Structure 1
Amino acid sequence: MTTATTAAPPAQADASGSTSPLRDLWQHHRRFRPRVVAAVAATTVNTAADVAPELLLGVAVDVVVRGSDSFAATFFGVEGRFGQLLIIALLNVVVWVVESATDYAASILWRGLAQSVEHDLRVETYANVQDLDVSWHEGSAPGRVLSVVSDDVNQLERFLDTGARVILHTFWTVVFVGAVFAATSWTMTLLAFLPVPVIVIGSIAFQRRLEPLYAAVRARAGDVSATIATNLGGLTTIKAFTAEKREVERVREVSDGYRDANLRAIRWSSAFVPLIRMAILAGFTSTLLLGGWLTINGRLEVGLYTVLVFMTQRLLWPLTDVGQTLDLYQRAMASTRRIFALLRERGEQQPGTGVLAPPVRGGVELRGVRFGYADGPDVLRGLDLVVPAGQTHAVVGTTGAGKSSLLRLVLRFSDPREGQVLLDGTDVRELGWDALRGAIGYVSQDVFLFHGTVRDNLAYGRVDATDEQVREAARLAEADGFISALPQGYDTVVGERGQTLSGGQRQRIALARAILRDPALLVLDEATSAVDTETEAAIQRSLAAVTASRTALVVAHRLSTVRDADRIWVLSEGRVAEAGSHDELVAAGGIYAGLWAVQIGEAAGVVGAAR
């Protein structure tokens, strides 16, 4: 007996992690740390070079006003004013060259870092989502997952591209300008820096207020993506039921929610910039008046006064970008929380490490299997079923009997609550994914074809197949004829999900795709339920040919498809009600005989109506 391993419901993608988003990024991307250090160093030197021209301007003014008594004359030992100005001009050229070079380096480093992190996170989140259980995906809206993998990752990239550099540049500006002020006048320093605490405290307050607002924005963005993705996937159903206006209103409602959440965040973030401007005005006015008064009274040199006035603007004006940068930061952190919440998701099902002993025969056995979905009731109840290697067995029954659930267990899309599922005598939970699913060729009721050529779709499970092997598989599935008649034959591009092909054509391509893999076990789930009589006959001929040398497990609604099976299992309410050959079951007069009579009767009724 084994413990239930049905997957838990997926956590919300925007759930907050236990650690800060920045710490998550720092810990997760260790290999980018040297690049971060280099980017920080380049930004630091760039900021210093950016501040230096104001200092040189003050020195130049000092030269013009004081001549041979200027700071430059004393420091460089040059008495002539033009000579002093020439040295200052040369220094200015050096500063501008350094500033330009480090600006280029910082831009390359930060933007390259943003692109690399974006790339890594997109691939990692997709890989993690792909590894999660089928049951996780069935309980999660694809649009919300897409919103995280695409939109949230892009949001983080935008912050790393510009926001991080702006924050660092502002920080070093405050440090360097503060050092100049402190070396000149403590009184002027206090006045110039008076707005800074107001800005810092305001930033913290706004950050705390904006954090939940932008978490709500990202959640509403997920709702929009989920709704649009679902509607595009069901567009034919929408059109068939003339529900276009209703669905437009549904999109309008979720878009209204996204817009309103954004507007609430925008109202708060926009209020931050006027607050900063008023604080800057106070600091700049104080420096202008007090510095001017000190200069007029001979207590401050004209050159230093010029430097301090320009430095005040250099100190305070970049802070006007703090509001916009803070807005970008909060959006990015809300997105980062969603990204790492998705990265922390783990499936309940983990692959084993075992392999199947060659030659793989494909024998299947279910022993005392009990299974249900999530916290729901049992769908399969103590099921025992054996499919000997090399035989073709069918599973039939009314809707809800548990037929497709049985196949999920064989493919290990789910695990049983109790009992075992064995492949060639080995519990499937002990096998690695390649060992288990590599031995199985699967044809589902809802055939999925990728956007690409017919050949690409046929060779999806065996990418190294030769053209002749591809054609042989298509011939066995009786698909070669219609494929060759397509405009570009095997190189014809089919639309997403194969929409340019008929249902029967898609079904035969799916069968050929499974055949090409040369599996030990062929699993078909209602492979003829949505095809016409001609296609059904073609698929039956194909199955007769390809199952002669391999094991086959077939779930069917049309009993004519499986009448030649070695054994037919009839499920009812999750249990085996009957088992035997077609003739034996018809003669027994039980559930199968009743189903057969209904289908034969329907067929007779159709024929009679046609006459």
Structure 2
Amino acid sequence: MSHTSSLHALGRLLRYARGYRRRIIAATACSIINKLFDIAPEILIGVAIDVVVNQERSFVARLGFETPQEQIMMLGVLTFVIWAGESLFEYLFQILWRNLAQRLQADLRQDAYEHAQRLDMAYFESQSSGQLVATMNDDVNQLERFLDGGANAMIQVGVTVVAVGAVFFVLSPLIALLAFTPIPLIIWGAFFFQRKAGPRYAEVREKVGDLASRLSNNLAGIATIKSFTSEAREAERLRQASEAYVEANRRAIRLSSAFIPVIRMAILTGFLATFTVGGMMALRGDLNVGAYGVLVFLTQRLLWPLTGLAQVIDLFERAMASTRRILDLLAVPITVKDSGEAALPTPVRGAVRFEGVSFRYANSEVGVEGIDLAVPTGHTLALVGATGSGKSTLIKLLLRFYDPAAGRVLIDDRPIEALSLASLRGAIGLVSQDVYLFEGSIRDNIAYGRPDASEDEIIEAAKVAEAWEFIRTLPRGLDTPVGERGVRLSGGQRQRLSLARALLKDPPILVLDEATSAVDNETEAAIQRSLRKIAHGRTVIMIAHRLSTIVHADRIAVIEAGRVVEQGNHAELLAAEGRYAAQWRVQTGSAEADALSVF
């Protein structure tokens, strides 16, 4: 990670922050004015010395203030004005930079999250959730810390060098050259440090993401950790991830800590040159005593802030490493793009058709090949097959989580890629095997697809999903908290709430992806009763391993290795004596037949 790379990241950030240009200019102007006021007292000290030494012949006397007393009073008033101005502009730049930092970090996080929501499912399947959380949270906070103080510090160091340099060259070009001699070394050291520090801080950001991933995964899997009594092993793995982060930081700190002592020695060289050479010139009368005082004080004012350059660059490098990660996330292309135009004509009939659909996951041979299936309005299609055969892939293609490599998917004879995602997904209700409930109440989760639904509508959906019986026995009823991911509810209860959530949406197409695979027989029977009620006039696509749950389907498609190998209703497939019939015998026959299971 080079100096050029960091500047490139800064350029990308400034392009992103175009809408904040006025605020940036205002904050920068306040920083510059504050620093000019900050330097002025050192000049006034030199002028005051000149007044005391030369009195009526002083520089101030030439401005019309004849007596030394008038001159001192004038300097006192000027000092008050300068200190008041410095305080005012310090207040202003603090307010402007800090508010800018807050606004920018909030907008960056929001934009990153909204962009992530639009990214293809393939991206999430290849990325760690912990890395994404670290990018949207810790990396954004790192940039905020730089804008809070580092940006102002960098601007003020530059202003100091320019303004003090101008004063030096006016008073004594020779001493200016001597005082500025260490500055090239300091700047070279800063850039050298930056080149070395860049990769180290990139590693720090990576280790933060690894640590966040470890924490996120362990907390999500705490029940499994406890059941296998693996607490000590997981604590050790977390310790190793934490130590890797500490070690990455240690390598960066070791470099930044070495920078300051080297810079201090360079500064001492410049100060001693001003102190000794300027003093000799003042003794010879070649330099005004007041001017000598100004130069000595300004040398410190010029050089000492440069000791903080390492810390500023430290903040800068951390921020640019984070900025790269944030903007790289924002730059991830969206393959499945929302046309945002056509909508399904109302009323939506819900006829679904797959025409020659083929798709393969990246870096995998798994997928589907040449799928031709049709589900007329109000009919039920069941998909059966072994794990990995491609059943869930068809559902993902229907929802446009992915686009097919060949062929097309149609709803009501409209290609789904021509529809807006809101129209497409609004017409489909999904009940997945892996039920996800959001932290909040039962009411919030059922009404997730229709936040404006009335209580009567929520209760009716719960009744149809056979969830109302257990909900009304709870102390707080619909207002009962479900806990994170629904941990306070049983698997069957979560599945019924998921079904109620889909029913309240009242979609013309209902997709059930292994909706009864993880529930007990009583819950399965309840869900089956619900499905018989809601299937009338609605297109239903079901994925099931238990063939007993799909015997009433209008059409059953058997999928093997991504291809449809059998189609028909239950009776037709049994009569065909193919793979479906064999599996039916396995599931309804003797236990010894389990070894022959193909689905």
**TM-score for the superposition, normalised by structure 1:** 0.93
2:173 to 183, 186, 189: 186
Deviations 1:118-156 (A, max 9, x none): 111111111111111111111111111111111111111
1:416 to 396, 404, 421: 404
Would you say 1:504 and 2:492 are equivalent positions? yes
Asked if structure 2 preserves the Cα contact closer than 8 Å seen for 1:17 and 1:340, the reply is no
2:445 to 432, 436, 457: 457
**How far off its partner does 1:510 sit?**
0.4
Deviations 1:238-263 (A, max 9, x none): 22223333323322333333222222
CA gap of 1:33–1:456, structure 2 versus 1, over 3 A, is: same
Deviations 1:460-495 (A, max 9, x none): 111221121111111111111212222221112211
1:483 to 471, 483, 492: 471
Deviations 1:337-383 (A, max 9, x none): 11111111012222333221221111111122222211422532322
1:279 to 257, 266, 284: 266
CA gap of 1:527–1:450, structure 2 versus 1, over 3 A, is: same
Q: In 1, Cα distance between the equivalents of 2:389 and 2:189?
A: 63
Deviations 1:545-591 (A, max 9, x none): 11112111111112222222222222223222322222333343332
Amino acid at match of 2:139: D
Asked if structure 1 preserves the Cα contact closer than 8 Å seen for 2:6 and 2:317, the reply is no
Q: In 2, Cα distance between the equivalents of 1:241 and 1:446?
A: 22
Deviations 1:399-440 (A, max 9, x none): 232221221121122222222211111222221101111100
Q: State the match for 1:345 in structure 2.
A: 332
Aligned residue for 1:79, secondary structure, equals coil
Q: State the match for 1:116 in structure 2.
A: 103
Q: State the match for 1:257 in structure 2.
A: 244
Deviations 1:523-559 (A, max 9, x none): 0000000111111111111111111121111111122
Q: In 1, Cα distance between the equivalents of 2:171 and 2:353?
A: 87
**How far off its partner does 1:67 sit?**
2.0
Amino acid at match of 2:370: G
2:161 to 162, 165, 174: 174
Amino acid at match of 1:208: R
When structure 1 is superposed on structure 2, of 193-202 and 397-406 the one drifting more is: 397-406
Aligned residue for 1:349, secondary structure, equals coil
Aligned residue for 2:302, secondary structure, equals helix
- The percentage of aligned residue pairs carrying the same residue is 52
**How far off its partner does 1:48 sit?**
0.8
1:389 to 366, 369, 377: 377
**How far off its partner does 1:305 sit?**
1.8
Would you say 1:210 and 2:173 are equivalent positions? no
Cα-Cα RMSD? 2.0
Amino acid at match of 1:584: E
Asked if structure 1 preserves the Cα contact closer than 8 Å seen for 2:586 and 2:593, the reply is no
Q: State the match for 2:597 in structure 1.
A: none
CA gap of 1:176–1:400, structure 2 versus 1, over 3 A, is: closer
2:224 to 237, 242, 246: 237
Amino acid at match of 1:73: A
Asked if structure 2 preserves the Cα contact closer than 8 Å seen for 1:529 and 1:558, the reply is yes
Asked if structure 2 preserves the Cα contact closer than 8 Å seen for 1:60 and 1:85, the reply is yes
Q: In 2, Cα distance between the equivalents of 1:257 and 1:218?
A: 11
Aligned residue for 1:177, secondary structure, equals helix
More relative contact order in 1 or in 2 (CA 8 Å, sep 6+)? 1
Amino acid at match of 1:139: S
Amino acid at match of 1:315: L
Q: State the match for 1:127 in structure 2.
A: 114
Would you say 1:320 and 2:315 are equivalent positions? no
Asked if structure 2 preserves the Cα contact closer than 8 Å seen for 1:17 and 1:341, the reply is no
Q: In 2, Cα distance between the equivalents of 1:292 and 1:417?
A: 81
Q: State the match for 2:10 in structure 1.
A: 22
Q: Which runs of 5+ in 2 are unaligned?
A: 595-599
Would you say 1:559 and 2:547 are equivalent positions? yes
Q: State the match for 1:574 in structure 2.
A: 562
Q: State the match for 2:432 in structure 1.
A: 444
Asked if structure 1 preserves the Cα contact closer than 8 Å seen for 2:366 and 2:388, the reply is no
Would you say 1:199 and 2:186 are equivalent positions? yes
1:88-99 matches, within 5 Å, as 88-99=75-86
**How far off its partner does 1:604 sit?**
12
**How far off its partner does 1:605 sit?**
11
When structure 1 is superposed on structure 2, of 98-107 and 62-71 the one drifting more is: 62-71
CA gap of 1:549–1:114, structure 2 versus 1, over 3 A, is: same
Aligned residue for 1:513, secondary structure, equals helix
1:78 to 45, 61, 65: 65
Aligned residue for 1:441, secondary structure, equals strand
Q: In 2, Cα distance between the equivalents of 1:351 and 1:70?
A: 76
Q: In 2, Cα distance between the equivalents of 1:473 and 1:376?
A: 40
Asked if structure 2 preserves the Cα contact closer than 8 Å seen for 1:370 and 1:378, the reply is no
Asked if structure 1 preserves the Cα contact closer than 8 Å seen for 2:52 and 2:68, the reply is yes
Would you say 1:545 and 2:530 are equivalent positions? no
Asked if structure 1 preserves the Cα contact closer than 8 Å seen for 2:32 and 2:159, the reply is yes
Aligned residue for 1:291, secondary structure, equals helix
Runs of 4+ displaced beyond 6 Å: 16-19, 602-606
Q: In 1, Cα distance between the equivalents of 2:410 and 2:383?
A: 17
1:367 to 326, 346, 355: 355
Q: In 2, Cα distance between the equivalents of 1:440 and 1:405?
A: 16
**How far off its partner does 1:387 sit?**
0.9
How many residue pairs get aligned? The number is 591
Amino acid at match of 1:492: T
Q: State the match for 1:146 in structure 2.
A: 133
2:30 to 38, 42, 56: 42
When structure 1 is superposed on structure 2, of 291-300 and 188-197 the one drifting more is: 291-300
Q: In 1, Cα distance between the equivalents of 2:101 and 2:336?
A: 34
When structure 1 is superposed on structure 2, of 412-421 and 24-33 the one drifting more is: 412-421
Asked if structure 1 preserves the Cα contact closer than 8 Å seen for 2:366 and 2:390, the reply is no
1:331 to 291, 312, 318: 318
Q: State the match for 1:4 in structure 2.
A: none
Aligned residue for 1:494, secondary structure, equals coil
Q: In 2, Cα distance between the equivalents of 1:25 and 1:71?
A: 48
**TM-score for the superposition, normalised by structure 2:** 0.95
Q: Which runs of 5+ in 1 are unaligned?
A: 1-13, 607-611
Asked if structure 2 preserves the Cα contact closer than 8 Å seen for 1:17 and 1:337, the reply is no
